[in-house]
Amino acid sequence: MLRRALAAMWDAEKALRALTPKVALAPEHKALDAIKELQQAERVYLHKTAFVPPPIKEEKRMSGDMDGTASYRRAQMEGGERVPEELRLLVQALSSDGPLPALWTRSAHDWVRGSIPDDDGRLAAQGAIQDVADGCAPCRQVLRAWLRGGAGQGQVLLQARSTVETPFARAWREGGAK
């Protein structure tokens, strides 16, 4: 049922992107019917696609030995590239009207050269560096946006909390503290 609804939604989206809303109406109704049917169903079976744990070696299983085991949870900033300190300071300085750090053009050019893959974007970012070097105050925000985009600072990694806050746990903690 979910696949049928999803396929109908994609058909409707294709029609809407082609600017033909009348054609999109029929797939939208099909998707709505499938979703309503799904809501009325007693049981829904979904194929599990989430976490697949790494295989456990049989000789370690139920031995209590924890050597060589690793958590499957991802650390908050693990695996991502770190932003150099001089670039972070430059981005902070560009957000205000204050002075820029020493040798800022060199670090900005190096970062743009290494982090922006397409030629047009790299050329526009280097133009923004030159505009800021020439004293253009409004261009500071443009350069800041280029540097932040190349540094990937728009990405946010989320990590779930290991404890669950329930009303019972809250009452237990508050009752035990009194």
pLDDT of residue 134: 86
Give domain status of residue 28, yes or no: yes
Whether the predicted pLDDT of 161 surpasses 60? no
139 or 69: which leads in pLDDT = 139
Angle formed at CA 12 by CA 10 and CA 17, multiple of 5 degrees: 95
Whether the predicted pLDDT of 170 surpasses 90? no
pLDDT of residue 154: 47
Residues 89 and 142 in one domain: yes
Which stretch, 8-12, 89-93, 113-117, has highest mean pLDDT? 8-12
Whether the predicted pLDDT of 176 surpasses 60? yes
Give domain status of residue 76, yes or no: no
Q: Which of 79-83, 120-124, 136-140 has the lowest mean pLDDT?
A: 79-83
Q: How far is the CA of 113 from the CAs of 64, 106, 109, 147, 155, in angstroms?
A: 51, 11, 6, 11, 21
Per-residue pLDDT, averaged over 138-165, amounts to 67
**Parent domain of 110:** 85-151
Give domain status of residue 48, yes or no: no
Whether the predicted pLDDT of 156 surpasses 50? no
pLDDT of residue 25: 93
Per-residue pLDDT, averaged over 62-80, amounts to 60
Q: What is the DSSP letter of 21?
A: H
Q: Residue 126: left (phi > 0), alpha (psi -120 to 50), or beta?
A: alpha
Number of domains in the chain: 2
Per-residue pLDDT, averaged over 161-176, amounts to 76
Give domain status of residue 67, yes or no: no
Give domain status of residue 116, yes or no: yes
Give domain status of residue 176, yes or no: no
pLDDT cut 90: percent of the chain above it = 10
Whether the predicted pLDDT of 151 surpasses 70? no
Give the whole-angstrom CA distance, residue 30 versus residue 63.
Answer: 54
Residues 36 and 89 in one domain: no
Give domain status of residue 102, yes or no: yes
pLDDT of residue 31: 93
Q: Average per-residue pLDDT in the chain?
A: 77
pLDDT cut 70: percent of the chain above it = 75
Per-residue pLDDT, averaged over 83-98, amounts to 79
Give domain status of residue 103, yes or no: yes
